[in-house]
Amino acid sequence: MSDSDHAPPAGAATRPPSLADKVRYLSDPASYPHRPRAVRAVETHMSWVFLAGPLVYKLKKPVRYPFLDFGTLAAREHFVREEVRLNRRLAPDVYLAVTPLSRDAAGALALGPGVAVVDWLVAMRRLPEQQMLDQLIRTGEATGPMIAHLADVLSDFFAHAPSEAPDPHDYTERYLVEQAETAAVLSDPAYRFDGARIEAAFARFDAAFAAARPLIEARIRAGRIVEGHGDLRPEHVCLDEPVAIIDCLEFNRDLRLLDPFEEIAFLGLECARDGADWIFPLLLERCADALDDRPPAPLIRFYWIYRALLRARLSLVHLAEPTPRTPEKWRPLAWRYVALAEREDIVPTPFNP
């Protein structure tokens, strides 16, 4: 494709490029200075990701939700810069740059500086897909030494993260606020869930929260809350050398203020969802030893149940989108999370009294 093929249609230079214009441009290998052989465009809930040979570029959609606002160019620039800054904590050699998407003097889109910036991109080094933890679990290649090394990386990160001091009442109330939203979604007749089973899951949450609330408040007072990752899932963990953990939750700092063991419980939950039940006990034990911190069993149980039901809700809300992607996926996945919340063997034996 020649440069003239990137020229905008008549009149296009006078209007801002649409999201479709940007996706089309970034899906073309000729748009990139390093000329990849092919570009694979992947749509997510909040972004478009372009796999361009050895590099990856991420474009945030101009979306607004109650929990984030990417609706303006200034907001997207801010959160692109935050994404790079925050993710360099756990993947310093992966997040390469903040890159402008611009118009050139002729009005055509250009990757890099130009006459006018029309959007901002996260530029990343592409990680080997076969070394991502979710893939290693699926292929049966995840090993105990790999998980022990991951636990050491996480423990070092948590140990050096500055302590935060949120208001204990406000911090614990957010769990009730989130659970109220979760209950509203899971109880919606449109999703055709087993009402008695869901009500039992809600009662399980209530009992776990009643036991955990004073424990959470005690951990806040003890300085155990840190600014963590916020979205610690297997698909965000690359067990290459060095270990790289990507895609932290950059758009809301409050949601990154966490007990490290909530993050560990969440990662263990997601691994169990993929069939690797053995990972959570190893992670938990190794991190507890490294951090010299062994939280009570009721606290760990609550974090697991809360996260499982929250993930059930977040699975279902995909079906409320105007054109949901893979609609057949979300309801069975939500039920899988409900089943994980129902488990009696959440907390490994060494953590039980």
Q: Do 153 and 106 have their domain in common?
A: no
Contact 20, 39 (CB under 8 A): no
Q: Tens of pLDDT along 267-309?
A: 999 999 999 999 999 999 999 999 999 999 999 999 999 999 9
Q: Do 204 and 116 have their domain in common?
A: no
Q: Extract the tokens encoding 180.
A: 């109220």
Q: Do 176 and 59 have their domain in common?
A: no
Res. 322: pLDDT tops 90: no
Q: What is the pLDDT of residue 10?
A: 47
Q: Do 53 and 100 have their domain in common?
A: yes
The owner of tokens 């090993």 is: 143
Q: Tens of pLDDT along 135-145?
A: 999 999 999 99
CA separation for the pair 204, 192 (Å, rounded): 20
CATH number at residue 227: 3.90.1200
The owner of tokens 């607004």 is: 64
Q: Tens of pLDDT along 238-255?
A: 999 999 999 999 999 999
What sections of 108-241 are H helices per DSSP?
133-139, 144-160, 168-186, 195-221
**Stretch 149-160: mean pLDDT:** 98
The three-state secondary structure class of 15 is: coil
Mark which of 79, 107, 126 sits at the end of a domain: 126
CB-based contacts of 263-266 (< 8 A; 24+ apart in sequence)? 263/154, 263/158, 263/228, 263/229, 263/230, 263/232, 264/154, 264/232, 265/300, 265/303, 265/304, 265/307, 266/232, 266/233, 266/303, 266/307
Q: What is the pTM of this model?
A: 0.91
Q: Tens of pLDDT along 167-211?
A: 999 999 999 999 999 999 999 988 888 889 999 999 999 999 999
Contact 215, 296 (CB under 8 A): yes
Contact 136, 239 (CB under 8 A): yes
Res. 80: pLDDT tops 60: yes
- Which residues, 6+ apart, have CB-to-CB distance to 275 below 8 Å? 137
Domain with 35 in it: 3-126
Mark which of 109, 126, 143 sits at the end of a domain: 126
Which residue would you say has higher pLDDT here, 328 or 23?
Answer: 23
Q: Do 140 and 272 have their domain in common?
A: yes
Q: What is the pLDDT of residue 193?
A: 82
Mark which of 68, 95, 126 sits at the end of a domain: 126
Q: What is the pLDDT of residue 5?
A: 46
Question: What one-character DSSP code corresponds to residue 132?
Answer: B
Number of domains into which the chain is organized: 2
Q: Do 200 and 320 have their domain in common?
A: yes
Q: What is the pLDDT of residue 347?
A: 87
Res. 149: pLDDT tops 70: yes
Q: Tens of pLDDT along 56-75?
A: 999 999 999 888 899 999 99
